Amino acid sequence: MIFFNVPSITKLEREYIAESLSGKLSGDGPYTKKASTLFEKATGVAGMILTTSGTHSLELAALLCDISPGDEVILPSFTFSSTANAFLLRGAKLVFCDIRPDTLNMDESLLPSLITPKTKAIVPVHYAGVGCEMNEINALAEGHCIYVIEDAAHAVGSTYNGQQCGELSDIGCYSFHETKNYCIGEGGGIVIRNSEMRKLAEVIREKGTDRSSFWRGEVDKYTWRQPGSSFLPSDVLAAMLCAQIMRFDEIMQSRMRVWNTYHTAFDSIEERGWRRPVVPCKCVHNAHMYYLIAPDAAERARFIASLKEQGVHAVSHYEPLHASPMGLAAGYRPKDLPLTVDYAARLVRLPMWAGMDEDDVAAVISVVSTVTA
């Protein structure tokens, strides 16, 4: 079986983890600090704060923006439940936005019709590592005094207009989950533009205390300052992230080789009603995933089943949130976001990971070409 995803773990990750076990195991140890430094060196994004997951990064963002009952948050329906849960847990009303047919990102042209006096935040999701139209989104948000929180879980290393995704707006949230390009099993990161908000984030993630300031020698003792939680990962996980970021270019180049090989090989299947990913010229993606859009839902089902029979694990992606039990309970109907429903029913993701064997790539191409012939 050619698996859909295989995390890229080498001797370096094992060495860093072993070294971390002889030091401070809890968070904000030497590897936690080193991970942020390495991340800045690799991406240019300064001041990333590690969290226990991409989900917790989003929850921390919701706390920082003081999302409260009665507030409205605009987000795509074609995303993982974490994007919604972070704001639903704060009592916000979710306002779902349909997607663009090219990138499958939030359709920024629909936002003006969705904004109300109660809108507190817009949450664009950089699907498959392809940046949303952030210039338009940010300009609209600024005109209405609305926060923009990037869900950049897919987009570590991706850029929009030459700037890293995740640092394009007020707050950016990353994921280092097992399925992401750079993984530590479970983990995340948050980037915060406002310095005062960043200080507040340090307090919230440390159980509401100023312990981070204490460790930097800024206060002689730490104390409980406000409500908080534990969004701080173990230094053992940070050690693994350090190794992953040390291999940043290696992992990126390996994934890009697979992505580009697929993209070239599947040019001809577009003549048969299928579609490949679209990457606008202003975006540089990170090869987070490679997907195809089938002509219809029935063809996708047949495709996935046929690949499985031949030892290739291909999968669908998100079921639209607005059409889920939670979305239906909130009063949404599937037809409210027609493009989201249509593309979600036709999208299929192919196996892809750093270090994927060339023979496996060739085998996937051969099977896909045969099944779609």
- Domains of the chain with bracketed CATH: 11-246 (3.40.640.10), 248-371 (3.90.1150.10)
In the prediction, which pLDDT does 27 show? 84
- Of 159, 122, 125, nearest to 54 (Cα)? 125
* Token representation of residue 136: 């338009």
The model's pTM is 0.96
In the prediction, which pLDDT does 24 show? 85
Segment-wise mean pLDDT, segments of 10 residues, the chain, 373 residues: 97 97 88 96 97 98 97 98 98 98 98 98 98 98 98 98 98 98 97 96 92 84 92 96 98 98 97 97 98 98 98 97 96 97 98 97 98 95
Distance CA 291, CA 279 (A): 12
In the prediction, which pLDDT does 213 show? 84
In the prediction, which pLDDT does 217 show? 81
* C-alpha triplet 147, 152, 156: angle, nearest 5°: 140
In the prediction, which pLDDT does 174 show? 98
**CA neighbours within 13 Å on the CB side: how many for 356?**
30
Residue 205 · residue 229 · CB < 8 Å: yes
Return the number of other C-beta atoms located less than 10 Å from residue 63's C-beta: 20
Type of residue numbered 252: M
* C-alpha triplet 173, 87, 199: angle, nearest 5°: 50
Distances, alpha carbon 295 to alpha carbons 105, 259, 303, 339, in Å: 20, 21, 11, 14
Return the number of other C-beta atoms located less than 10 Å from residue 207's C-beta: 15
In the prediction, which pLDDT does 220 show? 87
Distance CA 342, CA 130 (A): 20
